[in-house]
């Protein structure tokens, strides 16, 4: 069994120098947005930032839909179930129907458990000891994941297919999901998933992504605040 921490990787940001008239994300948004007012003649080398600030302040967020970002998330299945509820996104997710984990199952470490990444096997405690109170909650979780892996692999030896054997795998199963959507929807996602009322595992991955986006895409996400 392998234990990993959640992570993200920004794969692509639309409007970052690609195309015939290579431009930044902000410049792309300004170029599209000024079509509404036929004010293209006001475009200058430094006008995009102020234009985007203005339309954001006016809640004219449909213009932000002209640029988009693609992110690959490594998270557990529980988090992915929440992610795919954002219907304005495109999703491509690791399939438990077709992926065969006979070589070992990977699970995502919980943020409230102090557990190191890496490979782990049954230690001094056996599944039969679950009924005792002598082991910590951390050990209970680890043993539960080990047992789920053992049962999954055993079912494969009975000629169950991966899509059949997956029934014993828990929410902590690692999955990878690629998400593409426009900046307006990313703003909605950050507002919802970075909030103090969001699930701790969702906040664990969304808050760092929001901070990264503020670094590499100025203006668009700067006004989104939350309590860490």
- 3-state class (DSSP) for residue 101: coil
What confidence tens digit (pLDDT) does each residue in 110-139 have?
999 999 999 988 664 455 555 556 678 898
pLDDT at residue 1 is higher than 50: yes
Determine the Cα–Cα distance for residues 166 and 96; give it in Å rounded to an integer: 6
- C-alpha to C-alpha distance for 67 and 157, rounded to whole angstroms: 48
CB burial of 51-61 (b: ≥16 within 10 Å; e: otherwise) equals bbbebbeeeee
Q: Collapse the DSSP code of 13 into the 3-class scheme (helix H, G, I; strand E, B; otherwise coil) and give the result.
A: strand
pLDDT tens sequence across 2-47: 999 999 988 888 866 433 345 688 888 888 888 888 888 889 888 9
- pLDDT by residue (tens digit) across 62-102? 998 888 999 999 999 999 999 999 999 999 999 999 999 99
Is the confidence at residue 147, as pLDDT, over 50?
yes
Q: Looking up tokens 């999954």, which residue turns up?
A: 152
Which CATH number is associated with domain 1-9+75-228? Answer: 3.30.1360.170
Model confidence pLDDT, tens digit, residues 91-105: 999 999 999 999 999
pTM, two decimals, is: 0.87
């Amino acid at each position: 069994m392998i234990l990993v921490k959640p992570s993200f990787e920004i794969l692509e940001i639309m409007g970052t120098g690609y195309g015939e008239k290579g431009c930044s994300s902000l410049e792309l948004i300004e170029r599209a947005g000024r079509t509404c007012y036929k004010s293209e003649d006001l475009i200058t080398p430094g006008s995009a930032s102020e234009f985007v600030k203005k339309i954001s302040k006016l809640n004219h967020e449909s213009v932000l839909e002209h640029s988009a970002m693609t992110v690959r998330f490594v998270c557990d299945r529980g988090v992915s179930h929440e992610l795919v509820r954002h219907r304005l996104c495109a999703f491509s997710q690791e399939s438990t129907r077709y992926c065969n984990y006979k070589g070992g199952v990977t699970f995502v470490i919980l943020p409230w458990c102090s557990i190191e990444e890496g490979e782990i096997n049954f230690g001094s405690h056996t599944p039969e000891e679950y009924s005792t109170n002598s082991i910590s909650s951390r050990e209970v979780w680890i043993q539960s994941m080990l047992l789920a892996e053992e049962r999954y692999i055993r079912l494969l030896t009975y000629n169950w297919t991966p899509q059949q054997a997956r029934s014993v795998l828990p929410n902590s199963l690692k999955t990878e999901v690629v998400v593409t959507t426009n900046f307006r929807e990313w703003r909605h996602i950050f507002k919802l998933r970075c909030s103090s009322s969001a699930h701790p595992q969702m906040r664990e991955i969304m808050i760092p992504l929001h901070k990264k986006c503020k670094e590499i895409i100025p203006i668009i996400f700067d006004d989104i605040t939350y309590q860490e």
